[in-house]
Structure 1
Amino acid sequence: MLTPGRSLALHAESGKELPRVEAFEDLYAAGVRPRHGEVVMVAGRSGTQKSGFALFWVAQMNLPTLYFSADMSAFTASSRLASMATRDTTEMVEAGMAEGGKYRQAYLDALSSSNITFSFGSPITWKQIDEEIEAYIELWDAYPQVIVFDNLMDFEGAESDYTEQMAVMQGSTELARDTGATVILLHHASDKAWEAKSSPWNPPSRDQIKGGLSEKPELSLSVALDPTSMAYHVACVKQRMGPCDPTAQRYTTMICEPEYTRFKRAEKHTIIRAPQPADDWSPTKVLLGS
């Protein structure tokens, strides 16, 4: 049992903001504050670069990270990291690794400073998680500061079972509390909602995220990719300690470079309101500071 003062003193460090990533500056300007020790959900429809977004985020923060991937193969994940570090395309990385010699060594050297440790396999099980964390502690004598689950529906039994999905959310929360790690959990939004057809490049609203599970984390981000311009839209649909918009009608935009698994700031600092019927489907951009 803790008094409010003792609780604040003991957990002040775990509540600090995560290291900032330059590409996300517009998101921070909109009031989004990812913190140590939180459960963070990144949700989007199929094909919206959720894995690339999460991998880029943790690679840029470069905190000690344990990444559970059931969605990407070992080669895909590692070649994406090498591409990110060298700005060579993933095809160039693949060719260089096959060529061997100095090309292979250059990519291995580019990955030498990475603090990401991977665990591959599908489905993800709690037994696997316990074993990997024990091995991580044995190796580094510390818990990872970030744990990524890619993704929620790849947990054993959670593909379609709501009870199992809720158990994953509960387990993720307990894991964050017990270890002090930020848990980033990737999840799907509905591809069958009316909005998925009428405005497929806008981030899905909170009620479109499958199972209503986005209400459980401290922070839930909704993402969408416009393949015509490679604009990457990110909406904050739940934030316990800051502003959010459950409708996802207000979102920030960055540029996605999928061939390099990189993201960068858009040229203008904007928050965009999704088009409404009264607007005759014309997007409205609200320039901050104007």
Structure 2
Amino acid sequence: MLTPGRSLSLHAESGRELPRVPDLQPLYDMGVRPRHGEVVMVAGRSGTQKSGFALWWVAQMGLPTLYFSADMSPFTASSRIASMFLGEPTESIEVRMLSGGQARREALDAIESVPITFAFGQLDWPSVDQELEAYVELWDSYPQVVVYDNLMDFEGAEADYTVQMNVMSNATAFARETGATTILLHHASDKSWDAKAAPFDPPGRNEVKGGLSEKPELSLSVALDPNTLAYKIACIKQRMGPSDPTARRYAVMRAEPDLTRFHAR
């Protein structure tokens, strides 16, 4: 057991703000303060660049990250990072890698210092434990950020609420034990009235599947307008700051999906 003072002293470091990304200033202006050690959910409908946004965010923060991907292939994930830093579409990255020589070397150099370690394949807790052990063996420390892409890809979680809650519980326990920021990507309904009436606006908290957006300390809802490439981010849950569960108030950025880049407008 801990007194309030002892608990504050022990956990003050883990509760500090995550490194600020300049292009996320519209989100910070809304009072959103992502913090070390929090469980963060990024939810959105299909095709809203959830994976791209999460990959861009952790790459921009520059913190040691373990990224579990059941949604992207190894080439897609790595080429997106190269695309992000070289400012070239993934097709150009593929040409570089196949052509070899200096062009290939430039692509590899662009991502050499990016502190992201990927784990691909099926998501289940025995596999997660093995990957974490391998990460600690490789780097002699826990990752500062862990990304699960995405929650519904965990074994048995696609339609089983109990399994989904188990994923949330285990992710939260890991964050508490290690102080690692844990980012979970999750789906929102494509069949709700709001999804049909305003498909390019962020979904409200009631549209996130399983009601799971209520569990993390911070839940962000995202949407992409494919016509204007406006990228909208709403804070639908924030334990230590303002939020809007309806997602009617949102920050607006500009997306470059071909380059996996997001910019303040």
- TM-score band by shorter chain is over 0.9
Match of 1:199 in 2: 198
Residues 1:98 and 2:98 are matched in the alignment: yes
Match of 2:160 in 1: 161
Letter in 2 for 1:239: Q
Matches of 2:83 and 2:47, distance apart in 1: 19
After TM superposition, the score normalised by the length of structure 2 is 0.99
Match of 1:271 in 2: none
Q: Which runs of 5+ in 1 are unaligned?
A: 267-290
After TM superposition, the score normalised by the length of structure 1 is 0.91
Match of 2:14 in 1: 14
Match of 2:188 in 1: 189
Match of 2:216 in 1: 217
Match of 2:65 in 1: 65
Deviation for aligned residue 1:170: 0.4
Within 5 Å, give how 1:24-103 maps onto structure 2. 24-103=24-103
SS in 2 for 1:16: coil
Deviation for aligned residue 1:141: 1.1
SS in 2 for 1:66: strand
Deviation for aligned residue 1:88: 1.1
SS in 1 for 2:250: strand
SS in 2 for 1:250: coil
Letter in 2 for 1:99: S
Matches of 1:134 and 1:164, distance apart in 2: 23
C-alpha deviations, 1:179-208, integer Å up to 9, x for none?
A: 110000000000000111110000000000
Number of equivalent positions = 265
Letter in 2 for 1:90: T
Deviation for aligned residue 1:158: 0.3
Percent identical: 69
Matches of 1:231 and 1:26, distance apart in 2: 13
Deviates more, 1:243-252 or 1:129-138: 129-138
Match of 2:251 in 1: 252
Deviation for aligned residue 1:138: 1.0
Residues 1:3 and 2:3 are matched in the alignment: yes
Task: Kindly report the root-mean-square deviation, in angstroms, between the aligned alpha carbons of the 2 structures.
Answer: 0.5
Residues 1:132 and 2:131 are matched in the alignment: yes
Deviation for aligned residue 1:214: 0.1
Letter in 2 for 1:251: Y
Letter in 1 for 2:6: R
Deviation for aligned residue 1:246: 0.2
Match of 1:277 in 2: none
Letter in 1 for 2:263: K
Letter in 1 for 2:146: I
Q: Which runs of 5+ in 2 are unaligned?
A: none
Matches of 1:191 and 1:89, distance apart in 2: 28
Matches of 2:12 and 2:119, distance apart in 1: 30
Letter in 2 for 1:125: D
The higher radius of gyration belongs to 1
Deviation for aligned residue 1:22: 1.1
Letter in 1 for 2:49: Q
| Larger relative contact order (CA 8 Å, sep ≥ 6) | 2
SS in 2 for 1:76: helix
